[in-house]
Structure 1
Amino acid sequence: MTHYSIGELARLTGMSTRTIRFYSDSGLVPVAGRTAGGFRAYDADGLTRLRLVRTLRDLGIDLPTARRVLASELSVAEVARAHAEAIDAQMRTLRLRRAVLRVVARNGEVEMVHELARLSEEQRQAILDDFFEEVFGGFDLEPGFSRAMRSVRIELPDDPSTEQLEAWVELANLVRDPDFRASIRRMSEKHQELRAAGVDMSTPPQGQMAAFQDVIAQAATALKSGINPRSDDARRIVEQINATWGAAAGQSTYVSLVESLNNFGDPRAERYWVLLARINGWPPVPDTTAERAWLVEASKA
């Protein structure tokens, strides 16, 4: 039977003799015998056990767990699975900390960012639900609209990207802003008034949705062309837009697009959806703030 001295084990495993002696004294690698000079000797099983202990320790497994593996109380597969899950949790925590630090580095708000990042899913949703109750509660709104708005969920991942965390911080501050809440309440009040007047406030038909995209495209073209929103050219564009919008609405009583933008065109409302899409990983919502602003100013002229 082959026997190894501590020095030979150190050469074969790359470990120090001091470490091997510690593992031996701990009972992890038992002594197989003694040399003629009285020095410790180890057999092939001791070498195998030592290599396994070294591997487990390199992977971050603590000594008590390594001892249980060597005693066949736990399998290597069980330990690997549990340790991998623990590392996953640590990585999520580290990624979240990294995202928090990067957001703090950009805006300097340490405590606020940290607290918002640490909220549970239920706590995040409670912020949004409180917003919904204040801005929509008590109004007679179109049922489908109300259900759609209140069904929105915040789905921030456990390990969000810096962009997602930044979007959540901005959204949380936005929906808690008293001025923004007041603006959305005014929109809800106007929604109720128009509905009571017989205006169909349900989701626009497909033709009207397509018309809206065309309208935004026209406004974008006007902006690129440098058309002054208070010019005669802008007035003619607005008149054409309203005629197209009315035809697409397909109803005798409707709200003109420009009137709708005046009543419901707070750019922060669009920003709300841009941020929500970023948080939840939805397809990006295009920012049409500039086009809407041009249409509103042109209509006022």
Structure 2
Amino acid sequence: MWSIGELAERAGATVKTVRFYSDRGLLPEASRSGGGHRRYGAEALEQLRLIRSLRTLGLPLPEVRRVLEDEGAAGRVLEDAVAGRLRELGSEVRALRWREAALRLVRECPHAAERADRLRLIGAVNVPPSTAPLARFWRAWLPPRMPARATSAFLEEAVPQPPDEPDPAQVLAFARLHAMTTAPCPGGRQPQPEVHRVGGAHGAAALYAGLAEAYELAGSQLRRARDPYPGEALDAYVAAYASAYDNPDSRQFRRLLALRLAADPRLDRYWELTAVVLTPPGGAPEPTPGSADDWLRTALERDNAAAA
């Protein structure tokens, strides 16, 4: 049997540490001396070493208790605790990288007025940043009662995920996206494309499913730096709108579609900022639904001009 001091010495810990874990029932006492002093056996030494290892890994005391109760950490409790801690650390690392890039953004700004504006923008964003405000913006844009699966598919394409290792430009772009999507809309109501009213919820679901295919085809052309031209991507684009409007794809419909698209509200600034968020430092700009749509609109205009 060891005294509390002897156990602490063998474990390389302090008496205060041993007493702390004993008082919380994590460290078993083998017996008490005649004078009421604690006595510990070899089991306590192994348990203390395990406790200190788990605490070094950052596990909180409730998790440590669960691990100790799980037959000496031989079961799933330890695996689950470690997995949870890894998720927490991942979030903490992302937050630190975001803060580092934000600090560089402020440091590299030479003008006091602009620095104050940047501080205001980045101060409004949670760390690590959340995409929830952007998703809410698009949910208000989409027609009510649009099927959940179609909405999720659209949001996956429209909402850029903040990079794990952002540079200052990406931090600023995401902060501006946050400000843009949380600002009140003029007149208190967000403008919507005409096709949402005409096609309704299910028509919009079919529209955005077709547009996703068209954007993917156009994106491959954007990556090759190809000029807009009539072809498979444009056909898929027109077919998506033709389905929503319940019209056949015809030369007349293509002319009418170009007029309708020109009158619809545009979100060019959103897509410009999204491209910055998605593009790694020094990399080529990644196609976005906005840049793909621009490419396809130009292709439509050229197709109509050639037919005329």
Scaled by the length of structure 1, the TM-score of the pair is 0.46
Greater Cα radius of gyration, structure 1 or 2: 1
Q: Give the TM-score normalised by structure 2.
A: 0.45
